[in-house]
Structure 1
Amino acid sequence: MKTRIILLVDSSLFGGIESHLVQLSQLLVHHNVAFEVLFYQQHNNRQFYQQLEQHHINFTVLAGTFRALYQYLKQQTQPVVVHTHGYKAGILGRLACLMQRKAVVSTFHAGEIGLGRVKYYNLLDRISSFLSINFAVSQPIAKKVHQATLIANFINPKALHYQPVKSVINIGYVGRLSSEKGPDVFLSLAQMCQYFPQFSFHIFGDGPLKEQITSVPSVHYHGQCNSDEIWPKLDVLIVSSREEGMPMVILEAMNNGVAIISHPVGAIPTIIENNQTGQISKGFGASCLKNALLHWFYLAEPVKQQQILAAHTKVNRDFCGQSQFKQLQQGYHKALEKVANRLTSTHITD
């Protein structure tokens, strides 16, 4: 009987995990894998739902209780592998699968520790990771997770239509408006560059720091937008994060011919080679990002073009999903074998 994959997530905004799930869904469709996206509860995440609908991807929304998740998995008549994304889906998904002896795989995306309750949820997520077959999107994350396999994020490649830098350079922050992502650092950068009339600063995203962002008149706030609305409006992406894993936004920028300037955080230095496929600042903070931005700004146009072409070539070669699909296949098989071995061991004991 054919195995079906259930991608379990608890999602309230559209960010890196959600973008990853859209790409993963397209990859599974391409390889004719039976699957669905399962939401733990309703958050009215319309942007995510619309992306899934646009690609004709089936999804189900549960009532937001462990009982509802347990019953849904119990009703599955064919073999399934539950593939969790995010701390809540990971904790509850592994527990439900343990109770029902179902196969479970978890991908760990978050590089940040978190604050308050989130900090303890992340800790519990990692402690309970021995129950699943695990993937991690960066080496620092993998070190904190039980026997995690490193897997790079990936993206559906597209043709590059390069456009020379214009008289006004649109510089953007794209992501969740929360402390670990550093939108305040981006605002400080914008203030430092206020005497450069060539620069125009833009923020795309939503989150708990939204009110602080929208109160700065020199920065254009666009709110939560679809990817196809963002990238045509930007020439440069700034990654001002304090903590990161392997952000999807980096791959999206590379795929869309947008120059990248980033803190040396998470797995980014393994993707962006300084002065070759983008600019990595020499430290953290607005001053370091400003220096990197000005270095890029004063590069000759052919050099800028060469870096963007090199970044596009790299993302199409190394992050197109081919090797990642093989890793996922192996992980799914390991999860099924782990359950089978557990059942065999139980029968022998009985």
Structure 2
Amino acid sequence: MVSSRPLAVSRINKEAFMKVILLLDSRGFGGIESHVMQLAFGLKAHRQAVEVWLLKDYGRHPLSNKLQQQGITMDHVNGGIRALYRKLATQTDAIVHSHGYKAGIASRLVCKILSIRCFSTFHAGERGRGKMAIYQWLDEHTAGLATSVFAVSQPIKLRLPANCELVNNFIHLPPWPMQLGHEVAFVGRLSDEKAPHRLLSMAQALPECHYAFYGDGPLLSHLRPAAPENVSFYGQQTNMEARWKNIQVLIICSRQEGLPMVAIEAMARGIIVIAFELGALANLIDDGINGWLVAGQNPADLTLKLHAWRQLSTPQQARMRQQARHKVAQTFSDSAVIPQLLRRYHAAF
């Protein structure tokens, strides 16, 4: 696990490389995109030149405005491995850091040929099916071609057939919210591996709460007709900033997870996370101290934790919310993680 010692800027050879290229294949905004955005912002804040490249141009991307506002270039490869080769051949003073399976496979092959340092972060805790499973196998079994490999949780690290280092997901700490929201929320893709129907079970078991879905996906058409009156659907969000203030409790009810960015983002704002004990969530959540963890996969146990939260006094709730933010600031913030990533980059030269 990376430490939180401050960056010794004077000891870094800034001539080793000129630019970090963050590479991914994406058309929407989710956990990986949030991670890449936070990494780009953090590198720029540490005076490291950085660009974000997309393998394909799917049209206007949710990241583009956010990056542009920070003066960070977003570019497109617009092709496969050959197009990436041609584009990277002009970037011999750069290093590449890939995120996601398509970008990982392509960048490691090309960077190996061009002798460009390549780093890959593995994010996905869930296992794919069909074509996705083939991509994941290729991604994992070409990981050894990278200069360095990072994983955001121990289970992900253990399944990779290459030397791998744990690295925390992270965010830039937002301002402390002036108010506490009222919603019990699910934030993410409405797909089978995220098991969003479990929030409906909670809504039926504890109807005095108001529940909210922020996200879209193939299960939306099944969830909406089955939802009781105390459930709202707000659709896909390209920017959660305006929504966080409405949320009091975040529910993570997935079948599998790595270290979800949404949990860190919520806790940094004093939002209590109630989650199944998956992936690296136990490194983030101290049960009963700064949130709640549930062993197993029974939604009824999530409801019991929600009830326990509601039974706390106002001072007890305030203390737990402060503890949640403190944990993020201490271990999962950009000031804790970015300096360590910079050291890993420079150690490759």
Q: Given the alignment, which residue of 233, 237, 240 partners 1:221? A: 233
Structure 2 distance, partners of 1:177, 1:162, is 30
Whether 2:327 is the aligned partner of 1:292: answer: no
SS of 1:50 mapped into structure 2? helix
2:196 corresponds in structure 1 to: 183
Q: 2:72 aligns with which of 43, 53, 57?
A: 57
- Normalized per residue, the structure richer in helix is 1
Partner of 1:118: 132
Deviation string, structure 1 residues 29-64 (Cα, Å, up to 9, x no partner): 111111100000122363222222233321102213
Q: Which runs of 4+ in 1 moved over 6 A?
A: none
Give, in angstroms, the shift of residue 136 of structure 1. 0.7
Task: Verify the 8 A CA contact 1:173 1:204 in the aligned structure 2.
Answer: yes
Tell me by how many angstroms 1:217 deviates. Answer: 4.3
Aligned to 2:141: 127
Deviations 1:307-343 (A, max 9, x none): 00111111112222234223212322344x3xxxxxx
Identity %: 37
Identify which of 240, 245, 249 aligns with 1:232.
245
CA offset at residue 88 of structure 1? 0.6
RMSD (Å) for aligned C-alpha atoms: 1.7
What do residues 205-246 of structure 1 show as CA deviations (whole Å, max 9, x unaligned)? 122323223334432111122121220111110011111111
Specify which structure has the bigger relative contact order, considering alpha-carbon pairs within 8 angstroms and separated by 6 or more residues. Answer: 2
TM-score (norm 2): 0.89
2:171 counterpart (155, 169, 178): 155
2:200 touches 2:227 (CA, 8 Å); kept in 1?
no
| Residue correspondence of structure 1 range 84-123 to structure 2 within 5 A | 84-123=98-137
Residue 119 of structure 2: SS of its match in structure 1?
strand
Determine the structure 1 residue equivalent to 2:22: 7
Tell me, in whole angstroms, the C-alpha distance in 1 between the residues paired with 2:210 and 2:22. Answer: 39
1:206 aligns with 2:220: no
- C-alpha separation between the residues in 1 aligned to 2:226 and 2:67? 34
Read off the aligned partner of 2:216 and give its amino acid letter.
Answer: D
Q: Distance in 2 between matches of 1:213 and 1:54?
A: 36
Task: Please list, as runs of the form range in 1=range in 2, the aligned pairs for 1:225-304 lying within 5 A after superposition.
Answer: 225=237, 226-304=239-317
Please point out which of 55, 78, 87 is paired with 1:40. 55
Amino acid in the other structure paired with 1:241: S
Q: 1:192 to 1:150 in 2, by over 3 A?
A: same
Cα distance in 2, alignment partners of residues 110 and 258 from structure 1: 23
Amino acid in the other structure paired with 1:223: G
Q: What is the SS of the residue equivalent to 1:206?
A: coil
- Equivalent AA in structure 1 for residue 50 of structure 2: F
SS at the partner of 1:265? coil
Distance 2:84 2:164 in 1: 25
Shift, 1:183, TM fit = 1.0
Corresponding residue for 1:327?
A: 340
Q: Distance in 1 between matches of 2:255 and 2:264?
A: 19
- Alignment pair present for 1:28 and 2:40: no
Amino acid at match of 1:125: D
Preserved contact between residue 180 and residue 247 of structure 2 (Cα < 8 Å): no
**Per the alignment, in what secondary structure is the counterpart of residue 331 of structure 1?**
helix
Give the stretch that moved more between structures: 300-309 or 43-52: 43-52
On the 8 A contact 1:151/1:327 being kept in 2, the answer is no
Q: Is the 8 A contact 1:262 1:280 kept in 2?
A: yes
| Aligned counterpart, 1:16 | 31
| 244-253 or 181-190, larger mean C-alpha shift | 181-190
Count of matched residue pairs:
329
2:27·2:61 contact (CA, 8 Å) conserved in 1? no
CA distance in 2, matches of 1:250, 1:154: 10
